[in-house]
Amino acid sequence: MKKLHIVAAVAATIAFAAQAQDAQIDRKVADLMKRMTVAEKVGQLHQLSGRQFTGPTSSAYADKLADIRAGKVGSMLNVTGVADTREIQALALQSRLKIPLLFSLDVIHGYKTVFPVPLGEAASWDMEAIELSARIAAKEAAAAGIHWTFAPMVDVARDPRWGRVMEGAGEDTYLGSRIAAARVHGFQGKKLGATDSVMATAKHFAAYGAAVAGRDYNAVDMSEQQLHEVYLPPFKAAADAGAATFMNSFNTLNGIPATGNAMLQRDILKGAWKYKGFVVSDWGSVREMVPHGYAADLSDAAVKAINAGSDMDMEGYAYTQHLEAAVKAGKVKMSVLDDAVRRILYKKFELGLFDDPYRYSDPAREKTVLNDSSHRAAALDVAQKSIVLLKNENKLLPLSRDSKRIAVIGPLADSQRDLEGGWVVQDNRARVVSIVEGMRGHAGKAEISYAQACAPGCATTEGFAEAVATASRADVVVLAVGETWDMSGEAKSRTDITLPGQQEALFTALKATGKPMVVVMLAGRPLVFNTIADQADAIVYAWFPGSEGGNAVASVLFGDYNPSAKLPITFPRSVGQIPLSYAQYSTGRPVTDEKNVVYKSAYIDSVNTPRYAFGHGLSYTDFKYTGLTLSSPTMTQGQKVSLSFDVSNSGKVAGTEIVQLYLRDMVSSVVRPLKELKGFQKVHLKPGETRRLSFTIDRDTLSFFNSQLKWGAEAGDFKLMVGSASDDIRLEGSLKLTQ
């Protein structure tokens, strides 16, 4: 009891101190704003790109520097490193009011130490690992002068044609929301303003991941239910976790560009969610409202964007060129401009930049932090946790080291750059451990031979004969294939997501040797690889695993690490099935028997089921699920029910299982998905060990966005499903909500 009082007293003191700090910053902001001209206010809303460029436009660099000195710029992106950030900050401090700049960068999966791409990390379902990855990225970036990262991308994505599935957490809202919060906590650390933290950005607000036909920047058209239930919750989770900023997006949503969308930015984000941070546009997205046909010209775009709640204009030049006149003409109220400026200045004070504009740019810290060897160890750990064992016939894996000859073959087997994936901000490739290198390092007595067969992309078959000869001399073949690093990410949509070039032909040629075949696949998205899926003995999906990728892959292949990852996104059999999610809605004509699908919701040339389902992932051991009980078969809206069951490791090696809880609302005012993920737990078990696990089910677990466009749970029956994957349900129960 006494302890509780102390905890409550400490919490109250912290809350009080935070309020006092808020009030103090508010006063400082108000005082500064009193001294600002309209032009200086507009300057704070203007974000420029530095020497490296990620998008299509830029004006001459010298002009940009002059603008900084004149106080016409509030933030820079793409200026990195202590030396450069100091140099540019010094220019801002020559301006009349000496307002420091915010330095921002796309630190998506690491700064110097490269972690797996976010979709890969999502496969770990490991919130601590994901948070740690973001923490280390933040430490490194913050030591290199960066205040702010444009991450996490929290867009739900169910279309693997869209190249940016790589940057997010996959198809699921619940998993995506948990990961959004973990990544925000990781980037921002305990406190914004600590010099090992950076501001996070929840992007791209909103629904960017649902671009029609998976074509990047394309329109989005969706129901209110989809928006509120599937696409918005990860943003809400990021806001609740304290994300300092939001980025809006390039797409239209039901006809209105997100950047000019007041319903999203004013009503939902800053209204219903009471969000206090600021919103940055995406690169030029204010200007792009002109080609969208939503704004008549750049001036109109500036007016529409700021009135809709878009606070900072990234490389769009709409605010800097037109906002002052728009305010004078009464098209934008001074209070609207002031609100945007206030939000941005608040963050600059919170980061401590007015006390010391160079506090993130310390050369000694940069050197120490960027050379911290513990970061590599963490990158290895996260990469191991991200690798999914898709298939393992006859337990070919793990490979034995005893007098085995292992042929490591393939265009990506000795690649370094392709292990990093996209959004790498420094050229670190020399520090990347390739798969062959990792295999050699882990081989022990086994002998490793190597043949590339073809260059990344695999355009030609000239090297196949040598590769086949190498395979013929071995006991087992490890084939490393996949996408090259630049095939997924922004502006990398594909209509054909099979393995690029001649890679499946390479597999077939090697398979003809009759040797057991292990395929290691690298990619930023689910690929379609039906021949390999049917004929390979084992398949390991490594995504783009980062700096320690080769070591991580080798440790999995040799069984030094027992894989535990599960797919965060469905793998289709063909592009024709897309979009395909485990959480599909029921139909009036469900397929109950794959052999009889006439006049059913089916295809005449394919089964409905995916190649690999959401949540799928194997281990070198087996897990048994038994003894499901519910603390009560019924509950009321205010009650909670506990669902418990046993999970045992019935195999011979220790392993980690990701236990998944799904639910179906059987009858409701709006038709519900066949399954929705509602919880998961990661449990490590020794051989023979059993653990009893529980999930708590409450009103929130049963709620959905109903026909009145409100969140709520409806009385009736719910099916509860516990299992190892969305298509591998081991235990079922039912629960009745009585009112």
Sheet of strand 623-630, all strands in order from the earlier edge strand to the far edge: 623-630, 641-649, 690-697
Count of alpha carbons within 13 Å of 440, Cβ hemisphere only? 8
Residue span 70-89 as binding mask against ligand NOJ, x where in contact by CB under 6 A, dash where not:
-------x------------
State how far the Cα of 153 lies from the Cα of 108, in Å rounded to an integer: 8
**CA triple 361-362-366, angle to 5 deg:** 95
Q: What are phi and psi of 705, to 5 degrees?
A: -90, 105
Report the nearest approach of ligand NOJ to the CB of residue 106 (Å).
5
Report the nearest approach of ligand NOJ to the CB of residue 329 (Å).
30
- CB closest to ligand NOJ, residue no: 150
Residue that the structure tokens 């990047």 belong to: 216
Q: Which is nearer to ligand NOJ, 39 or 219 (CB)?
A: 219
- Report the chain's C-alpha Rg in angstroms: 27
Over the range 6-33, which residues count as b (16 or more CB within 10 Å of their CB) and which as e?
A: eeeeeeeeeeeeeeeeeeebeeebeebe
Report the nearest approach of ligand NOJ to the CB of residue 491 (Å).
9
Report the nearest approach of ligand NOJ to the CB of residue 208 (Å).
8
Check binding of 730 to ligand NOJ (CB under 6 A): no
Structure-token pair, residue 490: 């922004």
Report the nearest approach of ligand NOJ to the CB of residue 423 (Å).
9
Please, which of residues 412-441 interact with ligand NOJ by CB under 6 A?
none
**Alpha carbon separation from 514 to 393, 465, 537 (Å, rounded):** 15, 15, 11
Q: Which is nearer to ligand NOJ, 282 or 504 (CB)?
A: 282
Among 67, 131, 282, 420, binds ligand NOJ (CB under 6 A): 282
Q: Which is nearer to ligand NOJ, 490 or 657 (CB)?
A: 490
**Alpha carbon separation from 666 to 58, 96, 586, 695, 720 (Å, rounded):** 54, 65, 10, 20, 10
Q: Which of 345, 307, 336, 327 is nearest to 27 (CA)?
A: 345
Check binding of 287 to ligand NOJ (CB under 6 A): no
Q: Are 611 and 571 in contact (CB under 8 A)?
A: yes
Q: Which is nearer to ligand NOJ, 282 or 288 (CB)?
A: 282
Q: Which is nearer to ligand NOJ, 152 or 438 (CB)?
A: 152
Residue span 445-474 as binding mask against ligand NOJ, x where in contact by CB under 6 A, dash where not:
------------------------------
Check binding of 218 to ligand NOJ (CB under 6 A): no
Q: Which is nearer to ligand NOJ, 494 or 566 (CB)?
A: 494
Check binding of 121 to ligand NOJ (CB under 6 A): no
Secondary structure letter of residue 673 according to DSSP: B
Diameter over CA atoms, the chain: 81
Check binding of 174 to ligand NOJ (CB under 6 A): no
Q: Is 278 exposed, middle or buried (0-12, 13-18, 19+ CB in 10 A)?
A: buried
Which segments within 485-602 are labelled E, that is strand? 517-522, 538-541
Q: Which is nearer to ligand NOJ, 281 or 384 (CB)?
A: 281
Over the range 693-728, which residues count as b (16 or more CB within 10 Å of their CB) and which as e?
A: bebebebebbbbbbeeeeeebbeeebbbbbbbbbbe
Q: Which is nearer to ligand NOJ, 154 or 480 (CB)?
A: 154
3-class DSSP state for residue 269? helix
Check binding of 150 to ligand NOJ (CB under 6 A): yes
Q: Which is nearer to ligand NOJ, 203 or 228 (CB)?
A: 203
Check binding of 278 to ligand NOJ (CB under 6 A): no
Q: Which of 383, 388, 389, 523 is nearest to 456 (CA)?
A: 523
Q: Which is nearer to ligand NOJ, 314 or 467 (CB)?
A: 314
One-character DSSP codes across 494-528: -S--BPSTTHHHHHHHHHTTT--EEEEEE-SS--B
Please state, as a whole number, how many other Cβ atoms lie within 10 Å of the Cβ of residue 623.
20
Sheet of strand 728-737, all strands in order from the earlier edge strand to the far edge: 634-635, 728-737, 716-725, 655-665, 676-685
State how far the Cα of 725 lies from the Cα of 618, in Å rounded to an integer: 10
Report the nearest approach of ligand NOJ to the CB of residue 57 (Å).
12
The gap between the terminal CA atoms of the chain, to the nearest Å, is 35
Check binding of 235 to ligand NOJ (CB under 6 A): no
Contacts of 76 (CB under 8 A, 6+ apart): 47, 48, 49, 50, 68, 88, 101, 102, 103, 104
Report the nearest approach of ligand NOJ to the CB of residue 163 (Å).
11
Check binding of 650 to ligand NOJ (CB under 6 A): no
Q: Which is nearer to ligand NOJ, 280 or 539 (CB)?
A: 280
Q: Which is nearer to ligand NOJ, 77 or 721 (CB)?
A: 77
Report the nearest approach of ligand NOJ to the CB of residue 281 (Å).
10
Q: Which of 602, 577, 570 is nearest to 675 (CA)?
A: 570
Report the nearest approach of ligand NOJ to the CB of residue 283 (Å).
4
Q: Which is nearer to ligand NOJ, 160 or 168 (CB)?
A: 168
Report the nearest approach of ligand NOJ to the CB of residue 75 (Å).
12
Q: Which of 502, 396, 390, 381 is nearest to 453 (CA)?
A: 502
Active site residues: 282
State how far the Cα of 679 lies from the Cα of 134, in Å rounded to an integer: 23
Check binding of 161 to ligand NOJ (CB under 6 A): no
Among 283, 349, 571, 582, binds ligand NOJ (CB under 6 A): 283
Q: Strand pairing of 388-392 and 313-314?
A: unpaired
Structure-token pair, residue 513: 């040797």
Check binding of 55 to ligand NOJ (CB under 6 A): yes
Check binding of 106 to ligand NOJ (CB under 6 A): yes
Report the nearest approach of ligand NOJ to the CB of residue 144 (Å).
17
Among 203, 270, 511, 730, binds ligand NOJ (CB under 6 A): 203
Report the nearest approach of ligand NOJ to the CB of residue 656 (Å).
32
Number of residues that bind ligand NOJ (CB under 6 A): 9
Q: What are phi and psi of 560, to 5 degrees?
A: -70, -25
State how far the Cα of 232 lies from the Cα of 245, in Å rounded to an integer: 15
Task: Look at the alpha carbons of 584, 589, 590, 595 in this order and tell me if their dihedral is positive or negative.
Answer: negative
Check binding of 54 to ligand NOJ (CB under 6 A): yes
Report the nearest approach of ligand NOJ to the CB of residue 105 (Å).
8
Among 172, 313, 324, 490, binds ligand NOJ (CB under 6 A): 490
What are the residues binding ligand NOJ (CB under 6 A)?
54-55, 77, 106, 150, 203, 282-283, 490
